[in-house]
Amino acid sequence: MNFKPRCIPAELQVTQYLNWRMSLSPKEHSYYLNLEKGFIGEQRVDEWLKNLSEDWLILDDLLLECNGTVFQIDKVLISNQKIYIFEVKNYEGDFYIEADNWYTLSGTEIMNPLRQLQRSESLFRKLLQELGYHCQIESYIIFINPDFQLYQAPRDLPIIFPTQLNRFLNKLVTISPKIKDKHIKLAKHLVSLHIHTSPYKRTINYNFDNLKKGIICTQCNSFIAEFHKTALICDSCGYKEKVTSAVLRSIEEYLFLFPEKKLTANAMYEWCEIIPKKTIYKILSKNFKIIGHGKYSYYLR
């Protein structure tokens, strides 16, 4: 049973919107691709474990705090005997370990993911103790990409390599989680402690004026060229979407990118670009609560 499903991380969502609406620098673009790759890796792990018995308690993408230190866990599996915590890596290519340090084949040192895992495990253990739960914890790094290879790795590392995924899954399948009320209580407790990050961590500088305006096709991410009363039709892929749905989607995008700004009809008229003002007013007043009058009015959920 999944107690906390995975959502697209706010940072990735913002960067994806920005990638559509402005030209990212090569550094920003590679940052975006890295975020996307990480998320794809996590989704692959979800897919890998999707046939696990419903009796397991599963928590995805937890951001927790212990003694003032924030830490993240990609996946938690709770059973009666053990809690498994997984750190997912979607690394691709050849890597090697030398004297406890990790390098790409070309010799560039990368952050040792085992240190990150140890840190998360130790903070998680401390947190559970503080909450009054005493459980055995087993933690692993999952390298989900089949094109990953690690050389000179000692045999006893807490790592699941792509070639070991099937065997590890078979091992999990034989375990009966035997969940009791106290485990459900723990899962609920952890979800309640999850930190919701602020959606506008400004890693990339942007503002309303420097973003391309218009409505983006939900299928192919092109900008829609023209307004039609009945439906918006994408020139690039032919996808049809109802005007209200496309406008609401664009409003959500605006609110996500600019949580500090007021939602006004004028801003949405400019943001959606191809939609007549009358239609913008109609959609806003039907779906949001108007505050104030005239020039200074704005909308709230």
What whole-number distance in Å separates Cα of residue 69 and Cα of residue 85? 18
Name the token pair of 226.
């023209």
What whole-number distance in Å separates Cα of residue 276 and Cα of residue 240? 18
Q: Which position among 8, 40, 173, 220 is part of the footprint of Zn ion (CB under 5 A)?
A: 220
The count of chain residues that interact with Zn ion, using the rule CB under 5 A, is 8
Q: Which position among 20, 239, 288, 298 is part of the footprint of Zn ion (CB under 5 A)?
A: 239
The CB-of-39 to Zn ion minimum distance in angstroms stands at: 22
Of all residues in the chain, what percent are helix, strand and coil, respectively (each to 5)? 40, 25, 35
Q: Which position among 234, 257, 268, 284 is part of the footprint of Zn ion (CB under 5 A)?
A: 234
Name the token pair of 92.
């691709």
Binding mask 189-218 for Zn ion (x = CB under 5 A): ----------------------------x-
- CB-based burial label for 238 (10 Å; 0-12, 13-18, 19+): exposed
The CB-of-220 to Zn ion minimum distance in angstroms stands at: 3
Residue 136 near Zn ion by CB under 5 A:
no
Query: Which CB atom, from 128 or from 246, has the smaller least distance to Zn ion?
Result: 246
Query: Which CB atom, from 46 or from 241, has the smaller least distance to Zn ion?
Result: 241
Q: Three-state SS across 104-120?
A: ECCCCEECCHHHHHHHH
DSSP class of residue 264? -
The residue ranges that bind Zn ion (CB under 5 A) are: 217, 219-220, 222, 234, 236-237, 239
